[in-house]
């Protein structure tokens, strides 16, 4: 995505699909890589996933999985899968971001978020083709509408599939965004990824995520 394409998108004169990677070969290879890794992890962690699901059901009333509508490639929508960490299932025009000491959090929920175990069901989204292993993190539709109206380049992040982890996350832009400037920085990092993405970069992001971010998610709440 060059400066000209970005300007055209801002003026609404070109569809986001033109900015996506439309090469059938590259798209197929990227999906095969993501799907293979996701399937292997799901098989290896199947016992852990079953235990977590059982503990959630025992810890509080409600389903083990949390489903919420998110925005995907080219602005399409999909249902994201996460382990439930709260007593609510918010998926409406108003969704409040999680805060430190959030009263909606279950007893088990804080631990699941801190260890990123709540994110593991998104591997199913990768297998379905809704998400990639690496890409801009998807936000709730309410947040897309809110920040999309405040940040002119916000929608450009939909040029690629959303990811379980991303360039913004390994560069410190994780968790809640209490100020618009916090989201602005995340969008800038997301768009850098959109412009520079490659399989080598994806592997680098996955390694950094596994080695440095997951064991130290002090920002998770």
Domain ranges, ordered by start, for the chain: 3-216
Contact partners, residue 60, CB within 8 Å, separation at least 6? 84, 87, 106, 107, 108
Token pair for 214? 């997951």
Q: Is the pTM of this model over 0.85?
A: no
Helix axes 24-44, 46-59, angle to 10 degrees: 70
Contact 121, 137 (CB under 8 A): no
Is the separation of the CB atoms in 134 and 202 below 8 Å? yes
Per-residue pLDDT of the chain (221 residues; tens, 9 = 90+): 545 445 544 544 445 554 454 456 777 888 999 999 999 999 999 999 999 999 999 999 999 999 999 999 999 999 999 999 988 766 655 566 666 667 778 989 989 988 889 999 999 999 999 999 999 999 989 899 999 999 999 999 999 999 999 999 999 998 788 889 999 999 999 999 999 999 899 999 999 998 876 665 555 54
Gap between the Cα atoms of 161 and 97, Å rounded: 22
Asked if residues 66 and 98 have their Cβ atoms less than 8 Å apart, the reply is no
Structure tokens at 84: 């439930």
């Amino acid at each position: 995505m060059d400066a000209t394409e970005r300007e055209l998108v801002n003026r609404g004169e070109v569809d986001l699909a033109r900015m996506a990677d439309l090469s059938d070969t590259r798209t197929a290879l990227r999906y095969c890589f993501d799907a293979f890794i996701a399937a292997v992890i799901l098989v290896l962690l199947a016992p852990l996933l079953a235990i977590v699901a059982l503990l959630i059901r025992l810890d509080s009333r409600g389903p083990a999985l949390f489903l919420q509508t998110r925005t995907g490639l080219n602005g399409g929508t999909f249902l994201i899968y996460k382990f439930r960490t709260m007593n609510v299932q918010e998926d409406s025009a108003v969704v409040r971001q999680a805060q430190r000491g959030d009263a909606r959090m279950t007893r088990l929920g804080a631990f699941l978020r801190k260890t990123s175990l709540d994110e593991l069901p998104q591997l199913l989204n990768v297998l379905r083709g809704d998400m990639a292993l690496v890409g801009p993190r998807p936000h709730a539709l309410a947040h897309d509408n809110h920040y999309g109206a405040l940040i002119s380049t916000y929608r450009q992040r939909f040029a690629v599939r959303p990811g379980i982890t991303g360039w913004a996350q390994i560069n410190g832009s994780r968790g809640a965004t209490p100020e618009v400037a916090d989201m602005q920085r995340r969008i800038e990092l997301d768009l850098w990824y959109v412009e520079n993405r490659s399989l080598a970069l994806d592997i680098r992001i996955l390694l950094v995520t596994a080695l440095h971010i997951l064991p130290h998610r002090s920002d998770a709440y």
